[in-house]
Amino acid sequence: MLDLKFVRENPDVVRENVKKKFQDAKLPLVDEVLALDIENRNAKQEADALRADRNKISKEIGGLMAQGKKAEAEVLKEKVTAESERLAALEAREIELEERVKVILMTLPNIIADSVPIGKNDSENVEVEKFGDPVVPEYEVPYHIDIMEMFKGVDLDSARKVSGSGFYYLIGDIARLHSSILSYARDFMIDRGFTYCIPPYMIRSEVVTGVMSFAEMDAMMYKIEGEDLYLIGTSEHSMIGKFIDSILPKEELPVAMTSFSPCFRKEVGAHGIEERGVYRIHQFEKQEMIVVCEPEDSPMWYDKLWLNTVDFFRTLDIPVRTLECCSGDLADLKVKSVDVEAWSPRQQKYFEVGSCSNLGDAQARRLKIRIDGEKGKYFAHTLNNTCVAPPRMLIAFLENNLTAEGTINIPVALRPYMGGMTEIVRK
């Protein structure tokens, strides 16, 4: 959410940012919020004057009554009544104006970093760096569901009967592989100094609107009928929400946490859910990381976070690359974002397996997450990043570790979590 004072003092910067995001339909909102701000300040000024006048008249009425001048006092009482009615109308209008201003400020996109490439959509994202050599084996790499079925590790038909499309049963060694990757990711992040946390899987609406844009909320979140609760689409939502309406002592920052949770997503606008495949689904698990820090430290933490994901995938022998998200591909709250993409030998291209984002003070401003420093209280910066999100990660793992003999190689780092297994073989 933008700071109203910033919009008031830098309207052209806000307009230019809207254009960079290719959201020209929102340009009239800038003029609207400025006009509403002027009206609101004028209403407050008039209301303050009426309150002062009312206090003054009340004292005069008391004096007149003490002198027995009831007729004159009655005249002033009528004036007080009229001013009270006007004051009530102004106060009601102030509430309306402030609510509309808040909605607009939450609708306008956050100011993106100067380094963000300008582009309309994800087709204009920019490759930054590759890690590891992508390999195309001489033997055929089957579709990931076919690989799983080779090991009797997935059942989509039963899941479709039980829950519909976009769900799955993982079974046997493939299910164990899924859980092992998450356990390894947990310990990997703990070893990097992050505090482990298992958060709530449902959050209230005030937290939802605090961590994401209205458009994201409608497209992603599942609402619990009859309650003010939503299923989380990522544990970042409840992890950042943990700090709602709090004041953090400067000496306790940064807060760096890693969390495990199931995630639930509608996937609206995803052009349907694949009947065969676990790339885009309604339910999955994820090891996430979040940071709450000083504003000047967020660029440094941004680089640390995405590098954690790169390093994690490389320990599992999976080539990856980083892709800088262009302006049109950034969600409205984000200042800067980079996707981590894994190599697919079958498709002979990279595909997204995680995303790292710096949100500046957007979430902190909405949720009132402040820092108590030497110069007073100010808003923190928040960041988040995916360490790993199976079963999507399973696609990259299976394709990159499938051998010519039809077994699945288990990298050294993962073997302790797989009971010492060096490979998965067909039973």
What is the arithmetic mean of pLDDT over 233-240?
Answer: 95
* The pLDDT value given to residue 267: 77
Stated pTM of the model: 0.90
- Asked whether the predicted pLDDT for residue 225 surpasses 60, the reply is yes
Tokens encoding 245: 């309406």
Amino acid code (one letter) for 26: K
**Band of the pLDDT at 57, cuts 50, 70, 90?**
confident
Q: Which residue has the higher pLDDT, 201 or 51?
A: 201
For residue 381, how many other CB atoms are within 10 A of its CB? 27
Q: Across the strands, what pairs with 194?
A: none
What pLDDT score was predicted for residue 427? 79
pLDDT at 420 over 60: yes
273 pLDDT exceeds 60?
no
Is there a contact between 266 and 221 (Cβ–Cβ < 8 Å)? Answer: yes
| Predicted pLDDT of residue 75 | 76
pLDDT of residue 375: 86
Q: CA-CA distance, 374 to 376, in Å (whole number)?
A: 6
What is the Cα–Cα distance from 97 to 101, expressed in whole angstroms? 6
Supply the pLDDT for residue 199: 97
Report whether pLDDT(271) > 60.
no
247, pLDDT greater than 80? yes
Confidence (pLDDT) at 317: 92
What pLDDT, in 10s, does the model give residues 72-130? 777 777 787 787 888 898 999 999 999 999 999 999 999 999 999 999 999 999 999 99
The least confident of 53-57, 160-164, 377-381 is: 53-57
- Has residue 393 got a pLDDT over 80? yes
* Domains parsed from the chain with CATH numbers: 4-107 (1.10.287.40), 122-424 (3.30.930.10)
> What phi and psi values does residue 205 have, to the nearest 5 degrees?
-60, -35
For position 242, what pLDDT does the model report? 97
Percent residues over pLDDT 70 in the chain? 97
Helix (H, G, I), strand (E, B) or coil at 55: helix
Query: What does the pLDDT average to over 371-379?
Result: 94
Q: What percent of the chain has pLDDT over 90?
A: 82
Alpha-carbon distances of 399 from 57, 91, 146, 184, 312, rounded to whole Å: 82, 63, 11, 19, 17
Which pair of structure tokens corresponds to residue 363? 């979430």
Let me know if 134 is exposed, middle or buried by CB neighbors in 10 A (0-12, 13-18, 19+): middle
* pLDDT for res 86: 86
Arithmetic mean of pLDDT, 238-264: 97
Let me know: does 371 contact 379? Beta carbons within 8 Å: yes
Whether residue 11 is predicted with pLDDT greater than 70 in this model: the reply is yes
Contact between 287 and 186 under an 8 Å Cβ cutoff? The reply is yes
* 339: nearest Cα among 319, 353, 358: 353
Give the pLDDT mean for 150-156.
95
Under the phi-then-psi rule, with left for phi > 0, alpha for psi from -120 to 50, and beta for the rest, what region is 235? alpha
Residue 244: φ, ψ to 5° = -55, 135
pLDDT score for 76:
78
pLDDT tens per residue across span 309-343:
999 999 999 999 999 999 999 999 999 999 999 99
DSSP characters over 383-413 = EEEEEE-TTHHHHHHHHHHB-TTS-EE--GG
Cα-Cα end-to-end distance for the chain:
54
